[in-house]
Amino acid sequence: MSKIRVLADHVANQIAAGEVVERPASVAKELVENSIDAGATRITIEIEAGGRRLLKVSDDGEGMVRDDAVLAFERHATSKIRDSEDLAAIGTLGFRGEALASIASVARVELTTFVESGKAATRVTIDGGRMRDVKDAAHPRGTTIAVRDLFFNIPARRKFLRSEATETYHLTNLVTHYALAHPEIAFTFVNNGREVVRAAPAKDLRERAYQIFGAEFLENLLEVNGGDAQVARVSGFVSAPRDRRTSRDSQYLFVNRRFVRDRMIGRSLSEGYRSILPYGVYPAALLFIETPLEEVDVNVHPAKTEVRFRRQAAVADAVREAVKNALASGGYARPEEPEPHVMEIEEPIITASATATATASAPPSIQAPPQPRIDFIPEPSGDEIARDIEAMIQTAQQYQPPSDFQSAKSVAFNSAEKIAKVPEPESLSQNIRPLGQLDESFIIATDDDGLLLIDQHVAHERILFDKYRALEAERRTESQQLLVPETFDLTPAQAAVFDDLAPELEIYGFELMRLSGRTVAIKATPADLPPGEARNMLAELLDTVDAERKNSARETLRDEIAASLACHAAIKVNMPLAPEKMRWLIDRLLQTSSPTTCPHGRPVILRLKTKDILKGFHRI
Ligand code: ADP
Ligand code: MG
């Protein structure tokens, strides 16, 4: 007897649903994309119980005639492409014709739709892939699809759904994405009867971002504008280096207004921040890449969140360059850096041994002593997206269309910590005069524009970072041999990346030898690294280099090593500095590639302007 049979349609659809319908947010994605493809100008998304009980999307798009409303649930039924040639240049978000069929096979679905020319609206009801009913109904132009009891007929999948809060989070994130990608469309998002987002049609991305995230979020963003129309135009916003995220969740990437999760773009974005942010720390971004339709293949995955570019490398370059230029125009890097010149190796005042002894007598931690201190540096917070969404929900609740966008923006300005600001690198002159230290951690200085506070640790970090990069480029790094090699046991995960990392570390002056098993001997360390720091630094680097980074550019890896080395070798906070040392530090800092931000993205200098001081004393 033959053993092969063709599966019934509803089984095939359930199998397809495995790829398309992962969770409520993926259902919402397909429905919202359909609404956008239908030319909607307003889209409303309503959910109950994290989208499990109900997920309803309504639009005012073109709607469907009755025959189409029924046909829409057939597998491979689409109005968007006709033949395989159309696949070469897809201009709609959907095209596979399997979303509705898949969704209907794993939920109870009710579709109501009306086309302007029609006599009555149509309502189609389908449960678990079986058509129940088709009848007349009332509906204005457009379509409403209600999806109830997701996975009611597939208990195994239902079990994989996460908590209501998690699923709601994913849904909110998704709505945010689409609202940002389509500022001209009005979006409303209702969670358990409460309106969470209401965004009126906006004139551009900036205004939409303002509606969703509020003025403060925009305040920290730099505008990106670059690339070229033949390969890829790159536009949108990226965050200033001080705004640091520990995941890529705040990166919203779009290709031809399709929301994608693309590692290549994410990586090019990070490369744009090279030497400003270390790996493992991510900028926030809203990046739109526009390419000619035939330059990109969107038919790579059923969920259509992956794309393939015909000229991958050229797109990567365009993204990186555009991001770099945005950072340069924001004053966070100097545009068109000349080759960094090698600084003198003999550092008259701060030497490795001086640093080592000074820190040995200082408290081991770099924590501040328990005494009153001025804390100007905003701490990067851990759960940034939660914060974004929180802010978004608050803004949405309070949102009034701004009559004057500019004035609405300046309202958020009056908090005290914003008075001391990271100065523009160009505004720094040679005229900086150190006066003393605050808490033995920050240098207090004056210049022509006011009062400066310089974080001594990060300032030295920036100086050393530039120096190591320059020495490395010229292969002039120096080692100090250890009298007795230190041994070091690798964890299995560290061992997996060690062989890859070791040659790079040796470029910087480490001499490492793999002994038996997972033991490593440190025979020499870079010249300025206090010997006690070598082990910590290695452990830290080995832990942060993961698979993703392994594939990334060698240059990026080298930056990361230089940043880590600079951090471990730099003078610490809580350390008294003689006036000449402060002078030396400031002079060297001014010669670096980016005197206002450290290689980890933290501010190095804050300035309190004379003008603001005068204002504070009511003198102007
Ligand atoms: P695809 O979007 O890949 O074409 P779908 O299964 O998502 O496939 O939808 C099938 C068809 O149903 C679409 O091609 C479109 O013609 C129609 N359709 C779905 N949703 C809507 C909507 N909200 N408004 C108008 N037509 C729709
Ligand atoms: Mg679709």
Check pocket membership of 207 for ligand 1, CB cut-off 6 A: no
Closest-CA residue, ligand 1 atom 7, reads: 99
pTM score, two decimals?
0.61
Cα–Cα distances (Å) from 68 to 33, 97, 125, 315, in that order, read 17, 12, 14, 39
Nearest ligand to the CA of 60 is 1
> Cα(99)–Cα(77) distance, rounded to whole angstroms?
9
In percent, how much of the chain has pLDDT > 70? 84
Give SS3 for 85: helix
Cα–Cα distances (Å) from 88 to 37, 91, 537, in that order, read 18, 10, 50
Check pocket membership of 61 for ligand 1, CB cut-off 6 A: yes
> Cα(434)–Cα(421) distance, rounded to whole angstroms?
18
Check pocket membership of 72 for ligand 1, CB cut-off 6 A: yes
Closest-CA residue, ligand 1 atom 23, reads: 35
Nearest to 217 by CA among 53, 439, 395, 355: 395
> Cα(107)–Cα(56) distance, rounded to whole angstroms?
12
Residue 586 is encoded by which pair of tokens? 């400031």
Locate the ligand 1 atom nearest the alpha carbon of residue 100 and give its number: 6
Residue 141 is encoded by which pair of tokens? 């132009």
If one residue of 70, 100, 109, 139 were mutated to test the ligand 1 pocket, choosing by the most ligand atoms within 8 A of its CB, it would be 100
> Cα(57)–Cα(44) distance, rounded to whole angstroms?
6
If one residue of 13, 36, 37 were mutated to test the ligand 1 pocket, choosing by the most ligand atoms within 8 A of its CB, it would be 37
Could you list the mean pLDDT of each consecutive 10-residue stretch along the chain, which spans 620 residues?
A: 81 76 92 96 96 97 95 88 82 86 95 93 95 95 97 87 86 88 94 90 89 76 90 91 74 88 87 77 88 88 82 92 91 54 37 34 32 31 48 46 33 46 83 91 92 93 89 84 83 78 89 84 88 82 63 72 86 87 91 87 89 86
- Nearest 10 degrees: Cα torsion 457, 460, 466, 467: -130
Pairing of strands 251-255, 285-290: parallel
Check pocket membership of 60 for ligand 1, CB cut-off 6 A: no
Pairing of strands 42-48, 186-191: parallel
Cα–Cα distances (Å) from 351 to 345, 464, 528, in that order, read 10, 12, 7
- Residue 544: how many CA atoms within 13 Å on its side-chain side? 17
**Number of Cβ atoms within 10 Å of the Cβ of 370:** 6
Q: What is the pLDDT of residue 410?
A: 30
Cα angle: 454, vertex 458, 463; to 5 degrees: 100
Asked if 224 contacts 509 with a C-beta cutoff of 8 angstroms, the reply is no
Check pocket membership of 34 for ligand 1, CB cut-off 6 A: yes
Give SS3 for 333: coil
Residue 178 is encoded by which pair of tokens? 């689409």
Write the DSSP symbol of residue 592. S
Check pocket membership of 139 for ligand 1, CB cut-off 6 A: no
Nearest ligand to the CA of 76 is 1
Cα angle: 532, vertex 537, 538; to 5 degrees: 110
Check pocket membership of 144 for ligand 1, CB cut-off 6 A: no
If one residue of 43, 68, 71, 78 were mutated to test the ligand 1 pocket, choosing by the most ligand atoms within 8 A of its CB, it would be 78
Kindly give the distance from the C-alpha atom of residue 178 to the centroid of ligand 1, in angstroms, as a whole number: 17
Nearest ligand to the CA of 65 is 1
Check pocket membership of 201 for ligand 1, CB cut-off 6 A: no
Kindly give the distance from the C-alpha atom of residue 294 to the centroid of ligand 2, in angstroms, as a whole number: 20
Asked if 227 contacts 274 with a C-beta cutoff of 8 angstroms, the reply is no
Kindly give the distance from the C-alpha atom of residue 97 to the centroid of ligand 1, in angstroms, as a whole number: 7
> Cα(572)–Cα(464) distance, rounded to whole angstroms?
13
Give SS3 for 327: helix
One-letter amino acid identity for 41?
T
Sign of CA pseudo-dihedral 470, 473, 476, 482: positive
Closest-CA residue, ligand 1 atom 2, reads: 94
Asked if 45 contacts 189 with a C-beta cutoff of 8 angstroms, the reply is yes
Nearest to 598 by CA among 219, 223, 332: 332
Give the pLDDT confidence of 58-71 residue by residue, as tens digits. Answer: 999 999 999 999 99
